[in-house]
A and B are shown apart, each in its own frame.
Chain A
């Protein structure tokens, strides 16, 4: 089993972190939306935010690793033929990555806005670095929410494009991300 990417194929590492990222991103998004609507007396009122933070930090670490891995092992060339498609793909991938960076950073800033560390259950803590004013914190909160919707919206476009490549263009865009051998 090949770990590294080649110019035409994704290695096992890229494939795994891609799908793990996708799973976690959707999970943390759903968790986030659901937890803010819970009533005060819901048994999960305190539990779900803990999971949201824990899985969010996990996703942030995976994103960090993905960025490093891009440098260590260059991703394969895009399969799109038209230059506008290549541009659109690069832009979408860039924005998806931006969202995956902005979301954990803003989440961390909300929790640590008053100078207290972010606790991951009782396992670990991330110390506070920057204290924010109430107004700044609320803006960071809005950015967190908007970025989350942006990321999920863009992920849908990304998935739709992959399906279009698979079914309409009949190219290996989707299968090579599933590490299915072509040719």
Chain B
């Protein structure tokens, strides 16, 4: 004789089994593996036109919905803790957090939320979205590339992408004069998502 609890449990088990079978849902949600640090947001900018300065944002979180059958139906969003900017130099990082650059006490978060994904090749796509930095929101397009995916050795399922983009600092209200060679910042993103 089944109790109500047992009945509810079996419904739940069947439900979860259906949901995880991969047959029911075509689009699947992935959480970026920031916990295991298999996700990176790096930037580079010219120093005087003589060399590249590299840095990264150490703290962020993001997720993406991947529809492998219909990539246009996918989406991605990322939230960045701007204060985590790290260029491997304590005084420069403090300067970057201050009002001359990111002004993190007023604008602690940056974000990217995709609005449109266009497949451009077998493994490539253009991801357009709303990018918010220092309180300014503007459309930004990432050139994204599928790197790989599949079962990981620990019972999970992962997919990884890399993407590049660039923008003018001035477009987001950062007008500290670093010189003519240093107006544009290049972004490189590499993320691995764990299927939820």
Q: Which residues of A contact B (CB under 8 A)?
A: 39-41, 49, 110-114, 116, 134-135, 137-138, 141
Contact = CB atoms under 8 A, between A and B. Distances in A.
B178 A40 contact: yes
B3 interface: no
B179 A114 contact: no
Interface of B: 83-86, 88-91, 93-94, 97-98, 104-105, 176-179
A170 to B, nearest CB: 49
B90 A110 contact: yes
Given A111-B90, A134-B83, 16 more contacts: A39-B177, A40-B177, A40-B178, A49-B91, A110-B90, A111-B91, A113-B90, A113-B94, A114-B86, A116-B90, A134-B84, A134-B93, A134-B104, A135-B83, A138-B94, A138-B105
Contact of B88 (A114, A134, A135): A114
Nearest to A49: B91
18 contacts: A39-B177, A40-B177, A40-B178, A110-B90, A110-B91, A110-B94, A113-B94, A114-B88, A114-B89, A114-B93, A116-B90, A134-B83, A134-B85, A134-B97, A137-B90, A138-B83, A138-B94, A138-B104
A40 B104 CA distance: 20
A149 B105 CA distance: 21
Given A110-B91, A113-B90, A135-B83, A40 B176 contact: yes
Contacts of B86: 114
A141 B176 CA distance: 20
Contacts of A110: 90-91, 94
